[in-house]
Amino acid sequence: MNKPLDHRTGFTACPHDCPSTCALEVDILDPRTIGRVRGAAGNSYTAGVICAKVARYAERTHHPDRLMKPLRRVGAKGAGDWGEISWEDALDLVAEAFLKAEARYGPEAVWPYFYAGTMGLVQRDGINRLRHAKGYSNQFDSICTNTAWTGFVAGTGKLMGVDPREMAASDCVVIWGTNAVATQVNVMTHAIRARKERGARIVVVDIYDNATMKQADMGLKLRPGTDAALACALMHVAFRDGTADRDYLARYTDDPAGLEAHLQTRTPQWAASITGLSAEEIEAFAGLIGSTPRTFFRLGYGFTRQRNGAVAMHAALSVPTVFGHWKSEGGGAFHNNGAIWNLDKRIIEGHEFRDPSVRHLDQSKIGRVLTGEAQALAGGPPVAAMIVQNTNPMNVAPEQRLVRQGFAREDLFVCVHEQFMTDTAAMADLVLPATTFLEHDDIYRGGGQSHILFGPRLVEAPETVRSNHFVVEELARRLGVSDRPGFGLSEREQVDALLRISGYGGLDRLEAERWIDVQPSFEEAHFLKGFHNPDGRFRFRPDWKGMAGPNRPPASMGLLGPVEALPQFPDHAELNEAADEAHPFKLATAPARQFLNSSFSETKGSATREGRPELMVHPQDAARLSLAEGEKVLIGNRRGEIALPVKITDAVKPGVVLHEGLWPNSAFERGEGINTLVGADSPAPFGGVAFHDVAVWLRPAL
Ligand SMILES: Nc1nc2c(c(=O)[nH]1)N[C@H]1C(S)=C(S)[C@@H](COP(=O)(O)OP(=O)(O)OC[C@H]3O[C@@H](n4cnc5c(=O)[nH]c(N)nc54)[C@H](O)[C@@H]3O)O[C@H]1N2
Ligand SMILES: Nc1nc2c(c(=O)[nH]1)N[C@H]1C(S)=C(S)[C@@H](COP(=O)(O)OP(=O)(O)OC[C@H]3O[C@@H](n4cnc5c(=O)[nH]c(N)nc54)[C@H](O)[C@@H]3O)O[C@H]1N2
Ligand code: SF4
Ligand SMILES: [Mo]
């Protein structure tokens, strides 16, 4: 780790969809080959620590299965028969298909589809420049952040919070609904430093004994979808015992008296019956945070992937507000820094061509869109042609049977630009090979911290592999829009322009400094000058219908999900897929440590460490169903059924089953993956996906 830097060490940033966005140092063995990847010790957030899967990146970028040549389908869709085709011919083919779809139905019949396989702003978001220049259908992004960000902004009015490095000054770190050891290891770096240096206590709130709970001083294992009940009881105790900070509440919040009255009946006993925790556990947690001003709440995404997830986030966020933790150094809450960057993407994304009348299609409802559901199509034409970059919807999107049916349509043209032959690429008409972050230039910023970083091309790309930027530019040329402003720049010129119009100087500065830290001041990050609502106050009574926020759907889509059912104050909201007689179990589908969404399953280093796809089942449930360890069980609901070997463990609660993924669909018995079981109906108010809120039945497989 302390290896001296020399010309053979490259500096870059991790491009993957992870809140940490680590600053990396890469051993460059020759102009085409990398060696070991390390975390930059000099970056105050990365602090020299990265996850094992990215440390082994040579295995992924130099993988023998990397896509190397453009491939054209020669057999039936999904049959795996390919012929090689030149880049020129491949790009001509895409352009022809797009023009044909446009001629038949209008430009909205083309749907460029992308997500955050790379978080680089040029390579990820440049596809929107082409979209807007051509008037193609918009994508409403909803698969990841909608319930979480909405619940946070419902309280604070702005998506930012206490500097995560401040955990070093905390006496208690509450890691709520995120498996940080697996999904953002740097949270643990800072939390454990606080424990070592100040004896800080680490509390983990989750639904199973995951790797993070194993590190906890206090682990609270509750029933899925019941976090708001726990939050209400904590706040009830605060008012009951006088540990609520009444001066703070009077100065900084909208309706503390209303909240206190509402919480009268939300006792620890009440919450115990909902959460499955004991009243003593809840009292102990309330006592700890009530006597610890420097309590830091690190609120994750996991507990918001429930139909009541926005309410859960807002309720958990209300806890440090009632106790006044925000006032103290090392106290308050953090979820994501989405609102601090002020990076102006108008050139990258071609904002000036944006036509507000063009429809938005919900990313998460891709199954319904491609199978022609009128509502999902917003009353417009069918989708007849797509280009997919940086995402693998055949694997990661809910209602997988519909997604497959859609991609199997003979009258749909699909081009997938990928690094590997993913489940989605396998269904395409045309597959284009993509560069990895080591082979192209881009700029990155981390949602879980505060640095803007440059990631230069460190090694030569294989000759026949091209970046997303190249493909967008070449298609623009063939589709007649390349003379419009914003096209024709190199990746480095895009980064330079972005930095200049955003007021950060140019690329020269960023390259020289390696990263720019845009962490807001202590006062701003702790909301000491007030919250970002019109009255400057934290809202215990969110304006769910009227609030703004980064995930609000455009007016033409209306609000999404059962908005009327959202409670006025933080409360347990019965909005989730209820376990019933026909579906007695609740399934959650949490990320595996060695994978990153659908990525890394192709590497041996990750796949062998994860073993095989499994379903965790509590010993009591296994006994009741006469299931033996390793035996296959069928798991199903009205969306479909899949089979998995059982892992009997009391890491899960009775009645709860858990699958760690995302494994490729081909790792399952019939080639149908875990998202066969997950619904695409929208959680209120701004949509999203309830990946961990799935009611299922279990049956021994015959
Ligand atoms: N190794 C690895 N790292 C990743 C990813 C990955 O797939 N693998 N994915 C990346 C991406 S895209 C994202 S968005 C982030 C997400 O990272 P996180 O914020 O950690 O979110 P999830 O991974 O969805 O959350 C998983 C945790 O939520 C818990 N959970 C589920 N339901 C509930 C509930 O009702 N209450 C509570 N308290 N807990 C619940 C699960 O048991 C699990 O421990 O991670 C990123 N990092
Ligand atoms: N069951 C279940 N499903 C889930 C989740 C869950 O917790 N449970 N999590 C959900 C969440 S939070 C998210 S964010 C989504 C993420 O789902 P995806 O966006 O599909 O996930 P990734 O695996 O991060 O990225 C997809 C692909 O991008 C490719 N890629 C990377 N870099 C580049 C590049 O520069 N160019 C091109 N062309 N391709 C590139 C990778 O090879 C990879 O195959 O999954 C969701 N699905
Ligand atoms: S995946 Fe996350 S933890 Fe791993 S190197 Fe990338 S940013 Fe860091
Ligand atoms: Mo995500």
**SS3 at position 559:** coil
Q: How confident is the model at residue 48 (pLDDT cuts 50, 70, 90)?
A: very high
Distance CA 170, CA 330 (A): 4
Residue whose pair of structure tokens reads 């071609």 in the numeric block: 350
Which numbered atom of ligand 2 lies nearest the CA of 398?
A: 3
* pLDDT, tens only, 598-656: 999 999 999 999 999 999 999 999 999 999 999 999 999 999 999 999 999 999 999 99
Report cis status (omega within 30 of 0) of the bond before 432: no
Q: Residue 1's pLDDT is what?
A: 39
When pLDDT is averaged across residues 306-319 and rounded to a whole number, the result is: 98
- Burial label, 508 (beta-carbon count in 10 A; 0-12, 13-18, 19+): exposed
Give the closest residue to 639 by CA, choosing from 594, 679, 598.
679
Distance CA 163, CA 435 (A): 33
Query: Which H/E stretch holds residue 311?
Result: helix 309-323
Can you list the positions of beta strands (E) in 210-282? 218-221
Q: How far is the CA of 217 from the centre of ligand 1 (A)?
A: 20
Find out whether 52 and 598 touch, Cβ atoms under 8 Å: no
Q: How confident is the model at residue 702 (pLDDT cuts 50, 70, 90)?
A: confident
Q: Which domains does the chain have, with CATH numbers?
A: 8-61 (2.20.25), 71-141+346-436+469-489 (3.40.50.740), 147-335 (3.40.228.10), 585-700 (2.40.40.20)
* pLDDT, tens only, 684-696: 999 999 999 999 9
Instruction: Spell out the SS3 assignment of 663-681.
Output: CCHHHCCCCCCHHHCCCCC
When pLDDT is averaged across residues 225-241 and rounded to a whole number, the result is: 98
Residue whose pair of structure tokens reads 């498996």 in the numeric block: 179
Q: Across all residues in the chain, what is the average pLDDT?
A: 97
Q: How confident is the model at residue 5 (pLDDT cuts 50, 70, 90)?
A: very low
Output the pTM of the full model.
0.98
Distance CA 25, CA 5 (A): 9
Q: Residue 521's pLDDT is what?
A: 98
Q: How confident is the model at residue 446 (pLDDT cuts 50, 70, 90)?
A: confident
When pLDDT is averaged across residues 366-382 and rounded to a whole number, the result is: 97
Which numbered atom of ligand 3 lies nearest the CA of 446?
A: 7
Q: Which bound ligand lies closest to the C-alpha atom of 53?
A: 3
Cβ of 656 closer than 6 Å to ligand 1, yes or no, is: no
Q: How confident is the model at residue 518 (pLDDT cuts 50, 70, 90)?
A: very high
* pLDDT, tens only, 154-207: 999 999 999 999 999 999 999 999 999 999 999 999 999 999 999 999 999 999
Q: Residue 7's pLDDT is what?
A: 62
What is the chain's percent helix, strand, coil content, to nearest 5?
A: 35, 20, 45
Distance CA 426, CA 403 (A): 13
The torsion of the CA quartet 206, 49, 288, 247, rounded to 10 degrees, works out to -110
Q: How far is the CA of 590 from the centre of ligand 1 (A)?
A: 6
Q: How far is the CA of 560 from the centre of ligand 3 (A)?
A: 32
